[in-house]
Amino acid sequence: MWNIFEHPWTGLLIAFAVQFIFTIVHLIRPDSRKWWHFLPAVLVVLTAFAISYFVKTDKELIQEAVSAGIAAVEKEDLITIDRLIAIDYSDSHHNSKSQIMDLAREYLSKPLIAKNQTRNILIQIDDSKAVVDLLVLTILDPKNEMFDYKMPLYIKSRLYLKKYEGGNWLFCRAELLEINNQSFSWTKL
C-alpha cells in the first residue's frame, strides 16, 4: 500500500494531509484564504497517479511476464512462449530451452487449453531474481485429443525468473508442483 510506484493511494493520503493543513490554516487565519489553495492537493493526486501509471516496478514487470506466459499457453502462441523463456533455461527434467520448447510444440500443436485463469500468485523478489508461486485454473479444450480428462485442472507451479539486460524478466526455471491437489512433476507429464 505504501509503495507509490505501485499504488497511488499513498499519494491520495498525502494530498488529504496537505488539504487538511490548508484547512487548519484557513480556520486559524480566515484572511489567508486564496483561490489556488486547493491546487497543491490536486497536484499531489495527479503526480501520484502519473507515477503509478508511468513507472513500472519489478513486481509489475514480473506480473506482466507471468500473465503473458499464461495467455500464450492458452493461445498456443509458441513465438511468445519462446520470447519469454531465457536462453539458459533449465529445470528438473529439461536441461535447456530447446527441450522445454520441444515439449511446448508437442503439447500445443493441437487444441489443448480452452481457458486459463490465475487463481493465486505470490511473488518474492530478491535483487535480479524472483520466485513466483502460481495457481492456475485450466479448462481443457473439448476438442482436445491428448487427454480424456475433461474436468477443470488446478495447476500449482513455481516459476523462477531472472532479470536480464534491458530490464526484461524471463523464465529461467519452472517446476510443476501439484495438479488438483495431487503432487505432480515434469516426469509424470
Mapped onto helix, strand or coil, the DSSP state of residue 184 is: coil
Res. 132: pLDDT tops 90: yes
**Whether 90 and 48 share a structural domain:** no
Domains: count for the chain: 2
How high does pLDDT run on average in the chain? 90
Residue 136 to residue 153: CA distance in whole angstroms: 8
- Per residue in 88-110, pLDDT (tens digit) is 999 999 999 999 999 999 988 88
Helix (H) / strand (E) containing 14: helix 9-28
For residue 50, the tally of other CB atoms under 10 A from its CB is: 12
Kindly state whether residues 98 and 151 are assigned to the same domain.
yes
Residues 42 and 119 grouped into a single domain: no
> Which one, of 71, 58, 93, 27, lies nearest residue 170 by Cα?
58
Q: Would the pLDDT of 144 be above 80?
A: no
By residue count, the chain amounts to 189
What domain range is 25 assigned to?
9-54
What CATH number is associated with residue 132? 3.10.450.50
Position 29 scores a pLDDT of 87
What is the model's pLDDT at position 187?
85
77 domain-assigned: no
For residue 69, tell me if it sits in a domain: no
pLDDT in tens, 9-56: 888 888 899 999 988 988 888 888 888 888 998 999 999 888 888 888
